[in-house]
Amino acid sequence: MTQLNTPYPSTAYLTGFLHSQGIQAAQVDLSIALAHKLLSVAGLDAIHAQVIAIPKKKHTAGILFFKEHVELYRTTISAVVRFLQGRDPTLAHRIVSRRYLPEGPRFALLDQYVNSQPHEGDALDWAFGALGLQDHAKHIATLYLNDLADVIRDAIDPRFEFVRYAESLAASQPSFDQLHNALNAPHNLVDAYLHELTLDALSTHTPTLLLITAPFPGNVYGAFRIAQTVKNANPAIATVLGGGYCNTELRELNESRVFNYFDFITLDAGERPLLAITEYIRNKRPVTQLVRTYTRSHRYIDFKEPDVALAQTGTPTYVGLPLSDYLSLLDMLNPMHRLWSDGRWNKITVAHGCYWKKCSFCDVSIDYISRYEVATTDVLIHRIESLIGETGQTGFHFVDEAAPPKALKSLASELVKRKLDISWWGNIRFEKSFDAELCQLLADSGCIAVTGGLEVASNRLLKLMKKGVSIEQVARVTRAFSDAGVLVHAYLMYGFPSQTEQETIDSLEYVRQLFAAGCIQSGFFHRFTCTVHSPVGKHPEEYGVKLSRPQNAPFANNDISFLDGTGIDHDAYTAGLKKALFNYMHGIGLDLDVRTWFDTTESHRVTQKGTRRRAMLGVPSTSVHPDFIERALA
């Protein structure tokens, strides 16, 4: 599964492209179909049958609560799903009463958090007020589904997630063994449902060529299960795997067992490889002229042909997808963070690749970053109007690696000129080009939010990673967006090579000040990961790290273990950084010393020899001036 609120865009993109080439194609989203199979009365009955068969010693708090309240779950599940689809908004009144839905362990954590905040009244009134009825109910209904997800994970499949299913089986796994063993294990309930849905789709569409996209490691197990069902049902159907996972993890594939499931695996932009495959299976092209494709004999073939121009890739289409079936969820009480799970967004791309493509941590050597091509404003306007006409919805997510300021300015001007009312958000670089005037123009054109990378908030490290921005510049750009009424999310990083403990604490202080100054409204800290495609992975000596590559990696190969010469255990700061950010996103603790969020008992350091020794974690006080961001803004 990827998202429950909106289709992942790759099938819409490729279906539109194939139609533009006169090729008959249909698309199916088995992700949302699987979710509905589980989140139904019949699904809950099947889950309950599994639960009662589990020995009591393995009963978790979630399982015990589910067993006790199973009848209440059965009577409410269909109504909750309808509500989250937007089909039954008046149900919100009953949901917010806190007497309608069963409230399991997830609610206990929520109430613990709510009760720790200064407010008057009951439950979530402090967050939603008297009139935030729909959002209030949506959050409660989301927690209700999360309780059910916990039961599925505890009782049926410990790998289950609504978003990242069985991710560990595929993420940077040098060997195919774990995935092979999982695929050859007996079906559990989730596997059985996916098997049924796949057979239903085959009987409906009777394809000769089946394309399966796996954008993330959490989609790979499901992709292979689908292909397994297809091959067992009809080996004559040619199966193709593509998507972001292949592009980053399978570039050195040398594992024959993969081709028990897939006839072809394509890399990078899919249009040109798919055209070549369709011509090959119709005997119009020899196998030696396939493009960026692994074949069943696991020979990589890359007959050199230019990629399809962005203007020629066709308009995405959602024809065939059940757009009214998607579920709008609200899992965090932050207005920016909700965009990833709430609402159904039409997806378009302003530009392929990244116009900057210098960041040391990024996969700058791969096509999805390195090949930059921008669409014209006329093409973008045509695609926007076509999607509005097809879907009846005016929400757009620009799924760029980094949308270029010049192209956004041109598009925004045309949207305003034509009085074409849309709501849109997307990813940018915090370029100085985004001044107050441009940010206001983007807001006038319908921009509601932007995301961008601040990464490690340290000017020394920003320079080392060739980010091309400074903290002062980020402050001014994000404030310009916020002043225009545009929400801002910052991607944050820690553990970059040579980062010191002092820089980690100072980075958090910069982030605190950005929140306090109203520059950003949301953020996410992730641990730096070294990939084989990044400048750090290709030239580790320039960053003071030593890589530890697997000796044999016939399957996935992306993340690389490394030893930083500083010997700092950055993981010791993980909990504190996440705790601080969670509170900042809810407007809490912005006046506290950043050291407040860290457990100061003990941590571990890694010595130069790679051994671990215990040491007291004396969290340093910040060296950042308390008015640094305010001065930068002034």
Q: Give CA torsion, residues 511, 514, 515, 517, to 10 deg.
A: 150
| CB distance 275 to 14 below 8 Å | no
List pLDDT tens digits, range 29-54: 999 999 999 999 999 999 999 999 99
Q: Dihedrals φ, ψ of 293, to 5°?
A: -135, 135
Mean per-residue pLDDT for 73-98?
A: 97
In which band, very low, low, confident or very high, does the pLDDT at 10 lie, cut at 50, 70 and 90?
very high
List pLDDT tens digits, range 500-549: 999 999 999 999 999 999 999 999 999 999 999 999 999 999 999 999 88
Residue 114: the pLDDT is 58
Sign of CA dihedral 241, 247, 249, 251: positive
Which residue in this structure is represented by tokens 């996209």?
Answer: 213
Q: Give CA torsion, residues 324, 330, 336, 341, to 10 deg.
A: -40
In 484-529, the DSSP E strands lie at 487-494, 522-527
Residue 522: closest CA among 585, 430, 594, 448: 585
* DSSP calls for 87-148: S-GGGHHHHHTTSSS---HHHHHHHHHHHTS---SSTTHHHHTTT-HHHHHHHHHHHHHHHH
In which band, very low, low, confident or very high, does the pLDDT at 111 lie, cut at 50, 70 and 90?
low
Residue 616: the pLDDT is 34
Helices (H) and strands (E) in the chain, counts: 24, 18
List pLDDT tens digits, range 341-400: 999 999 999 999 999 999 999 999 999 999 999 999 999 999 999 999 999 999 999 999
Residue 164: the pLDDT is 83
Cα atoms in the Cβ-side hemisphere of radius 13 Å centred on 606: 12
| CB distance 605 to 599 below 8 Å | no
Residue 604: the pLDDT is 46
| The pair of three-digit structure tokens given for residue 347, joined into one six-digit string | 């997806």
Query: How many Å separate Cα 245 from the centre of its chain?
Result: 12
The CATH number of 345-633 is 3.20.20
In which band, very low, low, confident or very high, does the pLDDT at 116 lie, cut at 50, 70 and 90?
low
Q: How many Å apart are CA 67 and CA 65, to the nearest integer?
A: 5
Q: How many Å apart are CA 109 and CA 118, to the nearest integer?
A: 17
Residue 126: the pLDDT is 58
Q: How many Å apart are CA 459 and CA 197, to the nearest integer?
A: 51
Which residue in this structure is represented by tokens 């809810």?
Answer: 586
Give the list of residues 6+ apart from residue 411 with CB closer than 8 angstroms, or none. 350, 377, 380, 381, 445
Residue 600: the pLDDT is 66
Q: How many Å apart are CA 572 and CA 577, to the nearest integer?
A: 10
Residue 608: the pLDDT is 45
In which band, very low, low, confident or very high, does the pLDDT at 618 lie, cut at 50, 70 and 90?
confident
CB atoms closer than 10 angstroms to residue 146: 18
Q: How many Å apart are CA 82 and CA 609, to the nearest integer?
A: 58
Give the list of residues 6+ apart from residue 13 with CB closer than 8 angstroms, or none. 313, 314, 316, 347
Residue 333: the pLDDT is 86
> What residue segments make up the domains of the chain, in order of their start?
9-23+168-312, 35-160, 345-633
List pLDDT tens digits, range 209-265: 999 999 999 999 999 999 999 999 999 999 999 999 999 999 999 999 999 999 999
Residue 433: closest CA among 468, 384, 382: 468
In which band, very low, low, confident or very high, does the pLDDT at 609 lie, cut at 50, 70 and 90?
very low
Write down the architecture of domain 9-23+168-312 according to CATH: 3-Layer(aba) Sandwich (3.40)
Mean per-residue pLDDT for 100-113?
A: 83
Q: How many Å apart are CA 255 and CA 176, to the nearest integer?
A: 7
Q: How many Å apart are CA 157 and CA 518, to the nearest integer?
A: 42
Residue 567: the pLDDT is 87
List pLDDT tens digits, range 56-73: 999 999 999 999 999 999
**3-class DSSP state for residue 191?**
helix
On the question of pLDDT at 15 being above 70, the answer is: yes
Residue 296: the pLDDT is 87
On the question of pLDDT at 602 being above 70, the answer is: no
CB atoms closer than 10 angstroms to residue 297: 9
CB atoms closer than 10 angstroms to residue 490: 26
List pLDDT tens digits, range 296-323: 887 899 999 999 999 999 999 999 999 9
Residue 17: the pLDDT is 97
In which band, very low, low, confident or very high, does the pLDDT at 163 lie, cut at 50, 70 and 90?
confident
Residue 303: the pLDDT is 96
Q: Is 283 left (phi over 0), alpha (psi -120 to 50) or beta?
A: left
Residue 614: the pLDDT is 37
% the chain with pLDDT above 90: 88
Give the range among 110-124, 155-169, 311-325, 543-557 with minimum mean pLDDT: 110-124
